[in-house]
Chains A and B, each alone.
Chain A
Amino acid sequence: MEATAEGVVASLSGELNTVALSLRQMIWRRFRRHRMAMAGAVMLILLVAYCFGGALFVSEDYANFTDTKQRLQPPSREHPFGTDTVGRDILARTIYGGQISMLIGLSAATIEVVVGVLVGALAGYYGGILDSLLMRFTEAMFTIPQLFLLLVMAKFFANKFPAIHILGRTLSGSVVVIVIIIGITSWMYLARIVRADFLSLKEREFIVAAHTVGTRNLAIIARHILPNTVAPIIVAATLGVANAILSEAYISFLGLGVQPPTATWGNMLDRAYNYVATAPWMWIFPGLLIVLVVLSINFLGDGLRDALDPTTVT
């Protein structure tokens, strides 16, 4: 650009004319420009539409309908994804299984966030003995590989919950067990992040000011510090959904997960390795859906991380 006086004035006024964006608008703008995140969001919307829109076309009774004369049928016009070992339609089961898988992902991530934030906030804010106790606990939980703990708990707590009825549907009680155990074995990473944020934020002037005017501890934690740590929590929660869906798939694949007739993408793969050669359609379709949903949530989480990071340039 030429360094004339008009040029400088023009570029300056151009800059001045830029509309000031609110924080929310800036985040949305950064997110929109993140191509992978947008692709992930679109993919995720399509998958949700598949699972919840598909339910309008096939009934759950059909998804759980067994017809042993039709067992292990390859994909055909009647059963586009084929049938499983007891003759259930795999397409219908991926629709209803997807609903449960997503439900498990969301609720387990919710538990993860609640526990993680609670532990991290209490440890970071109060410090002292509480902090060292909670952090020892966090470290211990972190050291035992999650899958081992999940399998043991899934075995021990199985059948401890009765079947539940919500929205006119019956879910096997194992869904609740799986949600809880995934939730309580995955909060450690988030707790550490929240604790670190609390440690640095509680020394800041605005918190000291809040103390000075007599704000109570709980109000400081919930209203003054927590909103400032919301970005990493959102990112961790998003990725937590993907990890919970994966964890459910692992437990169910190994035969200790959600019990039939309730379908999940994970338990449709239960013992699939026995049919790896004879009926590949049994594991390819639910497996692909798991990969797709995890991939799109990971993309979304990556985009959110960049969009929420104030140091990213728009």
Chain B
Amino acid sequence: MTRYVIRRLLQAIPLLFFISLLLFVLMRTASNPLVTMGGKRVPRPEDRERLARQLGLDKPLYVQYVYWLIGNDWAKIDMDGDGVAETPGDQKGVLRGEFGNSLVIRGKPAWTVIKERIPRTLLLMIPAEIIILIFSLVIGIFSALKQYTVTDHVITGISFVGYSMPIFFIALLSIQLFAIKFKEWGLPALPPNQMFDPQVGKTPSQIALHMVLPLLSLTFVSIAGYSRYVRSQMLETMSQDYIRTARAKGLPERMVLYVHALKNASLPLVTIVGLDIPLLLAGAVVTETIFAWQGMGFLFIDHVSRGDTPVIMAILMIVSVAVVVSQLLTDIVYAWLDPRIRYD
């Protein structure tokens, strides 16, 4: 087991390097930081050159990548363009926790810009993940136990439609229904945007209230997809020999279902969490934009549309690390839970 964990860790590291290289090449070939920094005023040519040298844009791509990775405070850069490198560099590099400065918010490190947004995104994602797990488990098992009844068909129908829905459509529909129509009908309406009502302040209950609709849109598609997965897992388990054995030795049906079947059927659920992280992160971009939830996804859209490469790059790397780590954890937990699987 330890060897398996170590091996998986060692595989994850080159993967992350490869991803960073891929993203770096994409960023540097497709965008020009000078254009972003220039803004509305067109800078003078000599300023542009100076800036390019300061940012290291005059260097070959692989040198730029190395500087981005480990910084350039050990090297000298040629600031005045006379061919002699004289000024020591001041970048620390990603490996020492510095993603460079934001181009849009001048002089502010990208990491500082992102840091305060991460808890807000986690505040949505962790409850979302828990809701997805519980609901897809309950709905899937319920549907499996009622196989081929009207209830089962209705659930299957809804989940098919739900699975085909774009997240923004669910979000807009839920705003329309729960925020606007409820208000019209005089029912308690849910707030459609922001994290809290400025007049009430940032109290936990306010935030919880403002989380309802974003969570609904974030979880709906996943629940629709995974409840079908749980259903098929449960049905497959129910047809296994050990279930027949359990019934044959006279165990009460409840024991058979909730101990023998459920235990085995819920194992693959662990993979759901790992698979769901990329989907949930993408969902967060859409949900946060619609509900003006100032998290990392909201920040991402904002800075992508302004071409702020250091911040974009930092967010992409954080997201990739999150995905790699979650998949790693999934595999390890799976191996730990299922005694039949032994990796060595």
Q: Give A contacts to B, CB under 8 Å.
A: 36, 136-137, 139-141, 143-149, 151-153, 155-157, 242, 246, 249-250, 253-256, 269, 272-273, 276-277, 280, 283, 287, 290-291, 294-295, 298-299
- Cross-chain contact A291 with B282 (CB below 8 angstroms): no
Measured between beta carbons, the chain A residues less than 8 angstroms from B168 are: 249-250, 253, 269, 272-273, 287
- Nearest neighbor of A249 in chain B, beta-carbon distance: B166
Binds A, one of B51-59, B108-116, B240-248, B301-309: B301-309
Contact among A140, A254, A295 for B289, CB-based, below 8 A:
A254
Contact yes or no, A287 B305, CB < 8 A: no
Report chain B residues within 8 Å CB of A153.
Answer: 26, 30
* Residue on A nearest B282 in the bound complex, by CB: A147
Contact of B161 among A36, A147, A273, A291 (CB under 8 A): A291
Known: A148-B300, A155-B304. A295 touches B160 (CB 8 A): yes
Chain B positions 238-296 with a Cβ under 8 Å from a chain A Cβ: 278-279, 281-282, 285-286, 289-290
Instruction: For A298, give its contact among B14, B160, B167, B278 (CB under 8 Å).
Output: B160
Stretch at the interface among B84-92, B133-141, B318-326: B318-326
Question: B18: CB under 8 A from chain A?
Answer: yes
Residues of B within 8 A of A149 (CB): 316
Whether a CB of chain A sits under 8 angstroms from the CB of B126 is no
Q: Does B145 contact A (CB under 8 A)?
A: no
Q: Which residues of A contact B180 (CB under 8 A)?
A: 276-277
Question: Interface extent on B, as a size class?
Answer: 35 or more
Question: Is B65 in the interface zone, CB < 8 Å from A?
Answer: no
Main SS class of interface, B: helix
Interface membership of B165, Cβ < 8 A:
yes
Q: A151 touching B164 by the CB < 8 A rule?
A: no
Which B residues from 22 to 74 make CB contacts under 8 A with A?
Answer: 22-23, 26-27, 30-31
Residue of B173, B300, B304 contacting most chain A CB atoms (<10 Å): B304
Q: In angstroms, how far is the closest chain B Cβ from the Cβ of A279?
A: 11
A255 to B176, CA, bound (A): 21
Q: Which residues does chain B contribute within 8 Å of A157, judged by CB atoms?
A: 30
- Chain A residues, Cβ within 8 Å of B18: 136-137, 139-140
Q: A151: which B residues are within 8 A, CB to CB?
A: 285, 300-301, 304
Q: Say whether A155 contacts B305, CB under 8 Å.
A: yes
Whether A145 contacts B282 by the Cβ 8 Å rule is yes
Q: Which residues of A contact B282 (CB under 8 A)?
A: 145-148
Beyond A151-B301, A298-B160, whether A253 also contacts B166 by CB under 8 A is: yes
At the interface, is chain A mostly helix, strand, loop or mixed? helix
Report A-chain residues with C-beta under 8 Å of the C-beta of B334: none
Residues of A within 8 A of B26 (CB): 152-153, 156
Kindly state the separation between the CA atoms of A281 and B148 in the bound complex, as whole angstroms. 37
B121 to chain A, nearest CB (A): 13
Contact present for A254 and B316 (CB under 8 Å): no
Contacts of B307 in A (CB 8 A): 155-156
Q: Does B215 contact A (CB under 8 A)?
A: no
Known: A151-B304, A152-B316. A143 touches B289 (CB 8 A): no
Partner of B286, one of A253, A280, A291, A299: A253
With a cutoff of 8 Å between Cβ atoms, the chain A residues found around residue B305 in the complex are: 155, 255-256
Interface residues of B in 127-167 (CB under 8 A from A): 160-161, 163-167
B303 to chain A: closest CB distance in Å?
A: 10
| Contact for A295 among B161, B315, B319, CB less than 8 A | B161
Q: How far is the CA of A4 from the CA of B165 in the complex (A)?
A: 57
In the bound complex, what is the Cα–Cα distance between A298 and B157 (angstroms)? 12
Of the candidates A242, A256, A269, A277, the one having the most CB atoms from chain B within 10 angstroms of its own CB is A277
B185 at the interface (CB under 8 A from A): no
B214 within 8 Å of A by Cβ? no
Known contacts A144-B316, A146-B282, A155-B307; A291/B165 CB under 8 A: yes
Query: Smallest Cβ distance from B23 to chain A, in angstroms?
Result: 7
Q: What are 26 sample pairs from A and B whose C-beta atoms fall under 8 A apart?
A: A140-B18, A140-B19, A141-B22, A144-B320, A146-B278, A146-B282, A148-B319, A152-B27, A156-B30, A156-B31, A156-B307, A157-B30, A246-B166, A253-B286, A273-B168, A273-B289, A276-B175, A276-B176, A276-B180, A280-B172, A280-B176, A283-B172, A290-B169, A295-B164, A298-B163, A299-B160
